[in-house]
């Protein structure tokens, strides 16, 4: 059992895959947060523009 654990602890076959999964999850999380902030700002800007143009006198 000790030899099995030592062999398991020294193997690095899946280390690169784990790194890419963690990195990809981080990128998706950051993009999701950025989208949320950008969406609310865009909605505010379009609402303000619509209000301004509605009250515009020719």
Distance CA 37, CA 22 (A): 23
Angstrom CA distances, 30 to 5, 34, 36, 43, 52, stand at 37, 6, 10, 20, 33
Per-residue pLDDT band for 31 (boundaries 50, 70, 90) equals very high
Say whether pTM exceeds 0.95.
no
Mean pLDDT on 38-47: 89
pLDDT at 14: 73
pLDDT at 22 over 90: yes
pLDDT at 49 over 90: yes
pLDDT at 9 over 90: no
């Amino acid at each position: 059992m000790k030899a099995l654990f030592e062999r398991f602890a020294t193997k690095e076959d899946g280390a690169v895959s784990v790194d890419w999964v963690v990195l990809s999850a981080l990128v998706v999380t950051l993009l999701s947060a950025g989208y949320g902030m950008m969406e609310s700002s865009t909605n505010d800007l379009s609402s303000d523009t619509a209000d301004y143009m509605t009250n515009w006198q020719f």
